[in-house]
């Protein structure tokens, strides 16, 4: 009688090897001239670009959170990887970094090769949008740890910037303007509250319900997080003083990270129109304005602080580059963030 095997215990080594073979061409398509070696080794190798004086490495890590639940329910896994990349890359570019490479961690109870390939396709697409290499990653099969058909993701991004070109907010001055760039929806924050409001209670909505701006509610919720690499490159050309990724904590908790001590930001709420998904959540849940602002991005995914005379030019350049940008506020002498309607 043959003894037990690893597959009997729930781990399919052959499936893992099959997924690695499918991943190789996806990663290769994102390869840059700085990448050394290929997928399959113990470590990923990347050289530091030689055109950067006094290089500083910049790193970030994040996940996707409970937005994954919607991907499971809809059976759509090809965009959630974009979210993973975006949540990491959008953080590191705030200091002026050029993204170099990205690594992922994909963990599931039982490996579904087709599902895993779809996820990594999204990660590769996120890397393409970020102009960085998918350098490697890890796939973990953990029997009984996750519900059947579900998985978790974590991402790790590394970029580089010359020390004298670091964007650290020290140049921010009283009267500077805050330029906002529209988000593509909720991005990857606030989904625990959104799911409870939209799909809980006595009259839950359905993912297949029609959505006012087109498509279904599921489409609106699963829209991938926008990646702002090109926007940040434009901002650097306009002598940006600070940049901010509007992620967990929303505008009230993230905007103060861009101003020196003694300064704050006044936000004009009339300067942009949030996507209908935000009003739907607020109205159905009776969510207070303050709770909405500290949970969701409220339609602003990224902000930049520039001198007053540069604001109009930056907005014009960003819009020409495919973004929806607007002046949304200014730097004041009152610390924190204030909102005027």
Contact 24, 40 (CB under 8 A): yes
Q: Is position 91 within any domain?
A: yes
Chain segment 215-241, per-residue pLDDT in tens: 999 999 999 999 999 999 999 999 999
Residues 6 or more apart in contact with residue 66 via CB below 8 angstroms:
191, 192, 195
**Domains identified in the chain, total number:** 2
Q: Is position 17 within any domain?
A: yes
Contact 79, 144 (CB under 8 A): no
Q: Which of 165, 197, 217 is the last residue of a domain?
A: 165
Residue 28 is predicted with a pLDDT of 85
Contact 336, 228 (CB under 8 A): no
Chain segment 138-177, per-residue pLDDT in tens: 999 999 899 999 999 999 999 999 999 999 999 999 999 9
The DSSP bridge partners found for residue 339 are: 267
Residue 7 is predicted with a pLDDT of 78
Residues 6 or more apart in contact with residue 203 via CB below 8 angstroms:
none
Residue 201 is predicted with a pLDDT of 84
| 147 and 186 housed in the same domain | no
| 269 and 191 housed in the same domain | yes
| 76 and 157 housed in the same domain | yes
Residue 33 is predicted with a pLDDT of 87
| 128 and 247 housed in the same domain | no
Residues 156 and 139: their CA atoms lie apart, in Å, by 14
Residue 13 is predicted with a pLDDT of 80
The predicted model scores a pTM of: 0.95
| 256 and 303 housed in the same domain | yes
Q: Which of 134, 165, 196 is the last residue of a domain?
A: 165
Q: Is position 4 within any domain?
A: no
pLDDT < 50 positions in the chain: none
Contact 173, 167 (CB under 8 A): no
Residues 118 and 107: their CA atoms lie apart, in Å, by 14
| 334 and 240 housed in the same domain | yes
Q: Which of 132, 165, 198 is the last residue of a domain?
A: 165
Domain holding 160, by residue range, is 13-165
| 26 and 76 housed in the same domain | yes
Q: Burial level of 239, CB count in 10 A (0-12/13-18/19+)?
A: exposed
The C-alpha R_g of the chain, in whole angstroms, comes to: 21
- Candidates 307, 341, 308, 300; CA nearest to 324 is 300
Q: Is position 326 within any domain?
A: yes
Q: Is position 8 within any domain?
A: no
| 46 and 25 housed in the same domain | yes
Residues 234 and 254: their CA atoms lie apart, in Å, by 21
- Per the listing, tokens 């009003």 go with 279
| 224 and 90 housed in the same domain | no
Query: In this structure, what CATH number is given to the domain that contains residue 261?
Result: 3.90.650.10
Q: Is position 3 within any domain?
A: no
Four-CA torsion 104, 106, 111, 113, nearest 10 degrees: -30
How many CB atoms lie under 10 A from the CB of residue 55? Answer: 15
| 285 and 186 housed in the same domain | yes
| 118 and 194 housed in the same domain | no
Residue 176 is predicted with a pLDDT of 98
| 191 and 260 housed in the same domain | yes
The CA-CA-CA angle for residues 278, 200, 284, to 5°, reads 35
Q: Burial level of 90, CB count in 10 A (0-12/13-18/19+)?
A: buried
Residues 122 and 155: their CA atoms lie apart, in Å, by 12
Query: In this structure, what CATH number is given to the domain that contains residue 52?
Result: 3.30.1330.10
Residue 230 is predicted with a pLDDT of 98
Q: Is position 206 within any domain?
A: yes
Residue 2 is predicted with a pLDDT of 65
């Amino acid at each position: 009688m043959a003894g037990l095997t690893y597959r009997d215990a729930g781990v399919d080594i052959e499936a893992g090897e099959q997924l690695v073979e499918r991943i190789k061409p996806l990663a290769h398509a994102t390869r840059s001239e700085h990448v050394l070696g290929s997928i399959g080794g113990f470590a990923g190798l990347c050289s530091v670009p030689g055109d950067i004086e006094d290089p500083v490495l910049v790193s970030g890590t994040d996940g996707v959170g409970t937005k994954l639940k919607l991907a499971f329910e809809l059976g759509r896994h090809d965009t959630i990887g974009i979210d993973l990349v975006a949540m990491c890359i959008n953080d590191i570019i705030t200091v002026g970094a050029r993204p170099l490479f990205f690594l992922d961690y994909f963990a599931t109870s039982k490996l579904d090769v087709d599902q895993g390939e779809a996820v990594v396709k999204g990660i590769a697409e996120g890397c393409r949008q970020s102009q960085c290499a998918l350098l490697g990653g890890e796939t973990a099969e953990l029997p009984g740890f996750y519900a059947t058909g579900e998985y978790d993701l974590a991402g790790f991004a590394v970029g580089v910037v010359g020390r004298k070109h670091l964007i650290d907010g020290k140049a921010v001055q009283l009267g500077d303007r805050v330029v906002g760039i529209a988000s593509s929806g909720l991005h990857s924050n606030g989904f625990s509250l959104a799911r409870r409001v939209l799909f809980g209670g006595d009259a839950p909505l359905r993912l297949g319900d029609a959505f006012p701006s087109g498509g279904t509610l599921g489409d609106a919720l699963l829209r991938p997080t926008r990646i702002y690499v090109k926007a940040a490159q434009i901002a650097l050309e306009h002598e940006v003083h600070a940049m901010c990724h509007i992620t967990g904590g929303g505008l009230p908790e993230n905007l103060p990270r861009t101003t020196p001590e003694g300064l704050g930001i006044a936000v004009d709420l009339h300067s942009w129109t949030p996507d209908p998904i935000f009003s739907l959540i607020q109205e159905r849940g009776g969510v207070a304005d303050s709770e909405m602002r500290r949970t969701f991005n409220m339609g602003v995914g990224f902000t930049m602080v520039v001198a007053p005379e540069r604001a109009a030019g930056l907005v014009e350049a960003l819009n020409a580059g495919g973004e929806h940008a607007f002046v949304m506020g200014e730097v004041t002498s009152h610390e924190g963030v204030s909102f005027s309607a």
